[in-house]
Structure 1
């Protein structure tokens, strides 16, 4: 029981939110600054007080970012109502577009892997100044 005049603190500080979600303080600040995480209410003393909604939203944002969703995509899902409220069809469209981007990146990486492997194969690795890797980087070969 708090002493007379102390008041009861409800909610989490930013540090407690960071510990509970595994998201560092600067990332929480960033998500607030870009409008992805709603600004928390403040105490009379000006301290931020985060609630369970912030914990859930931050966990959702972190997982979406871990899966490579861009901030705009995460913001779009949250604008649809977020977890438990957004239309599955609308969220699916965002996910389909994201999957297409992931597949395009994978195709680009596969082409890059083949180019590097072929270039390295043509590299003698010797002491001579002519080098297939340098030629490729200068734009003169194997592109």
Structure 2
């Protein structure tokens, strides 16, 4: 399956915001509102499409990929490119994550030479397993009260 990156637009953002994940991943569910729409349109979010131009996921970079309260724990004090991802709920847990996230990492690393950082909810063992498989290492834990974990990837530790 070929993957493509498209600039985020209102149509893609609305579709993503309406995605509904099953428990325990319902933590990632959103509600369509002007505020949630602005989040996707006013920040560096990108749509990931398959070769049929169907929306299958997204990624974001910078502060949009950070959990705001993490700053209180100095989770974002070092210079890294923060990345966040999301995959269409009907595609999660089906073994597609490695290809999906590898594609995103490769594209980000072509643009930036800085190491990468992501923040993940600690209950999301499936995602943590994927991130470790792709060379990320656990760095810092903090609670909001949801427990989060930051993970780092040095550009030179690329498993591709």
| TM-score range for the pair, normalised by the shorter chain length | under 0.3
> Greater strand percent: which structure?
2
TM-score relative to the length of structure 1: 0.26
Work out which of the two has the higher radius of gyration on C-alpha atoms and give 1 or 2.
1
Give me the TM-score of the superposition, normalised by structure 2: 0.24
Work out which structure has the larger RCO, using CA pairs closer than 8 Å and 6 or more positions apart in sequence: 2
Question: Is the helix fraction higher in 1 or 2?
Answer: 1
